[in-house]
A and B are shown apart, each in its own frame.
Chain A
């Protein structure tokens, strides 16, 4: 069973429109919020324990309180770049419930006293862009945006910015560069965006799901929100389930939900005759779990961290026993090599080396020492760069090699896949 705190009405087509959204109580939470003080909202969000849903899981209320305590203009940016392989929940949220996001954003903007916000949506998302644009027009017409919102004296303008294809623009400082009209290259932190972000002004960047979750938190209060989930991971989360399962899709469950129930009960389990082999539990950057670990894992920040992986964006990618792990790692190293923005040597060179070494193994030119070389290169990419992409590229490599080393060794020795029995040339024509 799902617990639909956010997604209860996503199946209703009219929920996309202002009228349908209002029928379900839409924008009443905004009215309530505007009668509170900004500090009360921040305190409520802090007390709810809400953690960022974009990947890093940073406590949202705490992030908001890093803003300087003065009257300097500040910006709110919604991160709708959604590029982490396996993740497709923000797209659903924007397509099915654009007003929920907008309402959450206005409340959050009021909390941090921001007069201007942007929704940064990846450029390929034509449909979500169209839907959010329409919803923004409706919200302006109804007086939820603009001057003196609902007679509260609070002014807020909101607009959209469409990206143009670059995973790195999902990284918050890369996103800020992109919004400023530059190459989407990340900037060194500190200064953190909350102190110096968009146009060097204090800026809060939050994920779509984080901002939408502010609505139920202010509606029913932090205590009600904390009834869901675990102590360290309160609330519900949308998990994007994909890969080799019978019923892939987005499922909203309380944090702490057993991974095996997500795969078997909600996702319908494996296809006939197939066995579970591995799960990437938090988007492609999260270290892989083997089947035994997957049986034990619960979907919360602390359990996955303790297992050496992470909850990340909540993208659960399921691999069955027909897959060659060398081939699949090659798929990921190709991705990171393609997406490195090239600013930092360890990342630019490292992602290239990783991809080259895995390719050479697959093409039958690998040596046994190349497996250790993979580990060495990956180790050298960690913690030495401007942004976390370098680490994100290294972690899958280390976990794949550690947990499925026999497949790498077999490929080197025999020149073909242990699982599929064929060579790379046969796999890919």
Chain B
């Protein structure tokens, strides 16, 4: 069963005080929990948050399912999100994403067998002038080629 760390719990409690409406803490709390739950929100995360925040599970589920940044299933240690929207597509992003999948022998949105990578094709990340780009966990990598992107992934520990 998932439980927040003490540090995580403190953070969530702080968010509960931060905004005029208590519900506004749901998104920040889901972020904290996702970080502590290997990058995704499992049903027990929602149950736990509901208890520590005293907010109905149904409310948390509704928010969780609306936003794309909360993962609905386990993701690799490195969640690689390649923007494939227009400006990036015009600069070879879709081919880049396919190259990464091919090299890592995995389909988009699925996790590699060793649990290290998930490659996702996502919508515009506001990096259109430095296309193609990818976001790996919290970090942006820009002006990529299929080869440079693959080298970056290989260099991750």
For A93-134 the 0/1 string (1 means CB < 8 A from B) is 000000000000000000000000000001111110000000
A206 at the interface (CB under 8 A from B): no
Q: Which residues of A sit under 8 angstroms from B67, Cβ to Cβ?
A: 123, 163-166, 184
Q: A159 → chain B, closest Cβ, in Å?
A: 7
Bound-state CA distance A407–B27 (Å) is 44
Identify which of residues 84-136 in chain B touch chain A, using a CB-to-CB cut-off of 8 Å: 84-87, 89-91, 94, 98, 123-131, 135
Closest chain A residue to B20, Cβ basis:
A199
Do the beta carbons of A165 and B68 come within 8 Å of each other?
Answer: yes
Closest chain A residue to B85, Cβ basis:
A85
B51 at the interface (CB under 8 A from A): no
Q: A124-B125, A126-B139 are in contact. Are A85 and B23 (CB under 8 A)?
A: no
A339 at the interface (CB under 8 A from B): yes
A378 at the interface (CB under 8 A from B): no
B141 at the interface (CB under 8 A from A): no
Bound-state CA distance A189–B84 (Å) is 33
B26 at the interface (CB under 8 A from A): yes
B70 at the interface (CB under 8 A from A): yes
Do the beta carbons of A85 and B66 come within 8 Å of each other?
Answer: no
Q: Which residues of A sit under 8 angstroms from B68, Cβ to Cβ?
A: 164-166
A82 at the interface (CB under 8 A from B): yes
Q: B71 → chain A, closest Cβ, in Å?
A: 10
For B11-23 the 0/1 string (1 means CB < 8 A from A) is 0000000111111
Bound-state CA distance A124–B98 (Å) is 22
Do the beta carbons of A164 and B86 come within 8 Å of each other?
Answer: no
For A146-189 the 0/1 string (1 means CB < 8 A from B) is 00000000000001011111110000000000111111110000
Identify which of residues 321-342 in chain A touch chain B, using a CB-to-CB cut-off of 8 Å: 323, 328, 331-332, 335, 338-339, 341
Q: A155 → chain B, closest Cβ, in Å?
A: 16
Do the beta carbons of A323 and B85 come within 8 Å of each other?
Answer: no
Q: Classify chain A: how many residues form its interface, as a range.
A: 35 or more
Do the beta carbons of B20 and A164 come within 8 Å of each other?
Answer: no
Do the beta carbons of B24 and A164 come within 8 Å of each other?
Answer: no
B54 at the interface (CB under 8 A from A): no
Do the beta carbons of B24 and A180 come within 8 Å of each other?
Answer: yes
A317 at the interface (CB under 8 A from B): yes
Closest chain B residue to A169, Cβ basis:
B67
Do the beta carbons of A181 and B63 come within 8 Å of each other?
Answer: yes
Do the beta carbons of B126 and A199 come within 8 Å of each other?
Answer: no
Q: A181-B21, A317-B87, A317-B90 are in contact. Are A87 and B123 (CB under 8 A)?
A: no
Q: B30 → chain A, closest Cβ, in Å?
A: 7
Do the beta carbons of B126 and A83 come within 8 Å of each other?
Answer: yes
Bound-state CA distance A43–B76 (Å) is 54
Contact partner, A244, options B21, B69, B90, Cβ 8 Å:
B90
Q: A337 → chain B, closest Cβ, in Å?
A: 11
For A53-92 the 0/1 string (1 means CB < 8 A from B) is 0000000000000000000000000000011111110110
Q: Which residues of B sit under 8 angstroms from A199, Cβ to Cβ?
A: 20-21
A284 at the interface (CB under 8 A from B): yes
A136 at the interface (CB under 8 A from B): no
Q: A85-B87, A164-B30 are in contact. Are A179 and B24 (CB under 8 A)?
A: yes
Do the beta carbons of A248 and B129 come within 8 Å of each other?
Answer: yes
Contact partner, B66, options A84, A166, A332, Cβ 8 Å:
A166
Closest chain A residue to B66, Cβ basis:
A183
Closest chain A residue to B140, Cβ basis:
A127
B43 at the interface (CB under 8 A from A): no
Q: Which residues of A sit under 8 angstroms from B127, Cβ to Cβ?
A: 88, 91
Bound-state CA distance A8–B30 (Å) is 39
Identify which of residues 53-67 in chain B touch chain A, using a CB-to-CB cut-off of 8 Å: 62-63, 66-67
Do the beta carbons of A181 and B86 come within 8 Å of each other?
Answer: no
Closest chain B residue to A320, Cβ basis:
B90
Q: Which residues of B sit under 8 angstroms from A328, Cβ to Cβ?
A: 86, 89-90
Q: Which residues of B sit under 8 angstroms from A178, Cβ to Cβ?
A: 27
Q: Which residues of A sit under 8 angstroms from B4, Cβ to Cβ?
A: none
Bound-state CA distance A360–B139 (Å) is 36
Bound-state CA distance A332–B128 (Å) is 14
Interface residues of B (CB under 8 A from A): 18-28, 30-31, 62-63, 66-70, 84-87, 89-91, 94, 98, 123-131, 135, 138-140
Kindly list 16 other residue pairs between chains A and B, CB separation below 8 angstroms, not including A161-B19, A162-B28, A242-B87: A85-B85, A85-B124, A85-B128, A87-B124, A161-B24, A162-B31, A165-B67, A179-B24, A181-B21, A181-B26, A182-B62, A240-B128, A241-B129, A317-B86, A331-B84, A332-B86
Interface residues of A (CB under 8 A from B): 82-88, 90-91, 122-127, 159, 161-167, 178-185, 199, 240-244, 248-250, 280, 284, 315, 317, 319, 323, 328, 331-332, 335, 338-339, 341, 428-429
A-B contact pairs, 14 of them (CB 8 A): A91-B126, A163-B67, A164-B69, A164-B70, A165-B67, A165-B70, A166-B66, A183-B63, A242-B90, A244-B90, A250-B129, A331-B84, A339-B123, A429-B98
